[in-house]
Structure 1
Amino acid sequence: MTDEASAAPGRIVLLTASHRVAPGLLSWPAWQLLHAADAVLCADAGHPQLPYLREAGITVEHAAPTAQELVDACAGGRTVVVVPSSEGDGTDARLTDGLARLAGSGRVKMPDLELLPGSYDLPGARLLDLVQVMDRIRVECPWSSTQTHQGLAKYAIEEAYELVEAIEDGDADELREELGDVLLQVVFHARIAEERAAAEGDEDGGPFSIDDVAGTIVEKLIHRHPHVFGDETAETPDDVKTHWLRMKAVEKQRDSVTDGVPLGQPGLALAAKLAGRTRTARLDVPLPKGEGVGYELLALAVRAEEAGVDPEAALRAAARVYRDAIRTAEGHAV
């Protein structure tokens, strides 16, 4: 080896990989680098990537070098790959901080420093984090571990109302937070249902997991969008609605247009939903005759639905104006 070659500073490559992607699924540049490297180091003996690297014929040294030791290992133009720890125990931070100090000192001829992502998060990857966090708090949190579908039901309603309020306020940060709270309810209920599956040993219906929840809605969306995933066409929103209702009717096979309408929803929304079902089915159903505010509100809700107005949203908007008027009368700023 010539003096010039022996003096070459070499190359340090930090090879990162997303923990949300299955171990062993690395990019082609990452595999090329690993096979060509003079040394591959990993301080984490239990790193999930190691079995796959060894299976590919790559020798991985279990080592946690200091920054100086790593620089010395690159002498002679060698390429050393460092596989960061999967535990986040601070080892990698100490190494990178040490390399930064050496580089900043000006006294050391530093190797080329590179960061190579071996895998990337796919869209929706943070949902996997949510599932993992939910799994842990369900086991370790004294409150979360005792919750049931029935006990959580009221929170689903509260979170839905808070989401609607965030939408009406037009606050993007608040909307993002409230969407997360609603998503938590979905993951929480799915986790409870999954425990039933484990406890009962029932693999045929009944208990389910978050994957079953996601799979069900995926199948439903594909089936109800034949203009996207099939040979149908839809040029307008009304065409889409026609497809949706037709496919839904095939799926549900309901005896009445009122089947599936939740009676527990707010009264104006319930009245509008029933009116919408009746109008879509082209049924001629006279409004029931009666006295009192209830029948008056029913007639207003039906009239609003016919006009394409959400009566529940309209009343909320009017109520918010009323609230502001009350605060003004109290002397508060609106």
Structure 2
Amino acid sequence: MDLKCPSRPEDGLGDRISRLAAIMQRLRDPETGCPWDVQQNFASIAPYTIEEAYEVADAIERGDMDALKDELGDLQLQVVFHARMAEELGHFTLADIFDGISDKMVRRHPHVFGPDAENGEAGPGWEAIKAAERAEKGGNSALDGVATALPALLRAEKLQKRASRTGFDWPDSQGPKGKIVEEIGEVDLAKNDSERIEEIGDLLFAVVNWARHLKIDPEAALRAANTKFERRFRFMEDRAGAEFPALSLDAMEDLWTAAKQDET
């Protein structure tokens, strides 16, 4: 193996991807690589992969293109890292990943790449093609393929969308709205922590369902609410200074109102 760090390529995109792959190969070398990188496995790297995806979303939300470029690079590194570990174990390579996603995109866009593309024929929809792919893999439920590691709000929305395609859904937004009221009542009637946890889960699931019917992304909505809360709370801390924790609840409420008014 060439122990020199691959130089910056002057040619095309493929050379740049190859450079990153070579860097990761060097980092994973048991004898000459980085001890931390060598000892990692799929499970230990997975949290970093998830974190990098969220940092990409954060850069997009902030409209920071310089940060987006950096975060997309970090996310690409995660792909290369997983691919390198898989290749070491004889499962698949980075090239297999690119081939697989390229084939999938062509397969799922027959209206662009298919034989009738020039005629403008739309062909089967994206979801229909995905459903056919799941069936080929032995899936027997409309819910197959919804990743369990997704954030809970996002997974709830995806499960509901899948169920809706089978006809199992409220006809309009009034159904899930009424379900929220029902679930609040069941939380109040819960007799112990175990029941309360279950009913709160049902309540959150119902809120996601209502948001879906209103065509609102619940994950994005909650993320925006988190940002708003943080902004207002920091305003309160800045206005009160070191005395903030000692303030009465009424005084904090006044500061909260001031924070809201400051935004108008």
Indicate how the Cα distance of structure 1 residues 298 and 235 shifts in structure 2: closer, same or farther if over 3 A, else same: farther
**What per-residue deviation string (whole Å, max 9, x for no partner) do you get for residues 190-248 of structure 1?**
10111112xxxxxxxxx111011111111111100101110356979xx68x6211211
Indicate how the Cα distance of structure 1 residues 278 and 235 shifts in structure 2: closer, same or farther if over 3 A, else same: farther
- What residue number does 1:187 align with? 80
Alignment partner of 2:146: what SS?
A: coil
- What residue number does 2:125 align with? 243
- What residue number does 2:105 align with? 221
1:127 aligns with 2:20: no
AA partner of residue 271 (structure 1): A
- What residue number does 1:48 align with? none
> 2:111·2:120 contact (CA, 8 Å) conserved in 1?
no
Indicate how the Cα distance of structure 1 residues 323 and 120 shifts in structure 2: closer, same or farther if over 3 A, else same: closer
Alignment partner of 2:236: what SS?
A: helix
Alignment partner of 1:277: what SS?
A: helix
Which deviates more, 295-304 or 217-226? 295-304
- What residue number does 1:252 align with? 134
Whole-angstrom distance in 2 between the partners of 1:263 and 1:136: 33
Alignment partner of 2:35: what SS?
A: coil
Whole-angstrom distance in 1 between the partners of 2:157 and 2:116: 30
Structure number with larger C-alpha Rg: 1
TM-score, length-normalised on structure 2? Answer: 0.70
> 1:226·1:243 contact (CA, 8 Å) conserved in 2?
no
Alignment partner of 1:264: what SS?
A: coil
Between Structure 1 and Structure 2, the one with more helix by share is 2
AA partner of residue 89 (structure 2): R
AA partner of residue 156 (structure 1): T
**What per-residue deviation string (whole Å, max 9, x for no partner) do you get for residues 73-99 of structure 1?**
xxxxxxxxxxxxxx98xxxxxxxxxxx
Which deviates more, 310-319 or 158-167? 158-167
Q: Percent identity?
A: 40
Whole-angstrom distance in 1 between the partners of 2:108 and 2:59: 29
TM-score, length-normalised on structure 1? Answer: 0.56
> 1:162·1:178 contact (CA, 8 Å) conserved in 2?
yes
- What residue number does 1:108 align with? none
What are structure 2's unaligned runs of at least 5 residues? 1-5, 188-199, 240-262
- Residue 262 of structure 1: which of 128, 131, 147 is its match? 147
Map 1:43-192 onto structure 2 (within 5 A). Answer: 121-139=11-29, 140-192=33-85
> 2:134·2:145 contact (CA, 8 Å) conserved in 1?
no
Whole-angstrom distance in 1 between the partners of 2:12 and 2:111: 26
Whole-angstrom distance in 1 between the partners of 2:108 and 2:73: 26
Whole-angstrom distance in 1 between the partners of 2:15 and 2:160: 41
Indicate how the Cα distance of structure 1 residues 328 and 284 shifts in structure 2: closer, same or farther if over 3 A, else same: closer
Between Structure 1 and Structure 2, the one with more strand by share is 1
What are structure 1's unaligned runs of at least 5 residues? 1-86, 89-118, 198-206
**What per-residue deviation string (whole Å, max 9, x for no partner) do you get for residues 94-121 of structure 1?**
xxxxxxxxxxxxxxxxxxxxxxxxx972
Alignment partner of 2:156: what SS?
A: helix
- What residue number does 1:81 align with? none
**What per-residue deviation string (whole Å, max 9, x for no partner) do you get for residues 117-145 of structure 1?**
xx972344311111111111111111101
Indicate how the Cα distance of structure 1 residues 232 and 163 shifts in structure 2: closer, same or farther if over 3 A, else same: same
Give how far 1:154 is off.
1.2
- What residue number does 1:231 align with? 115
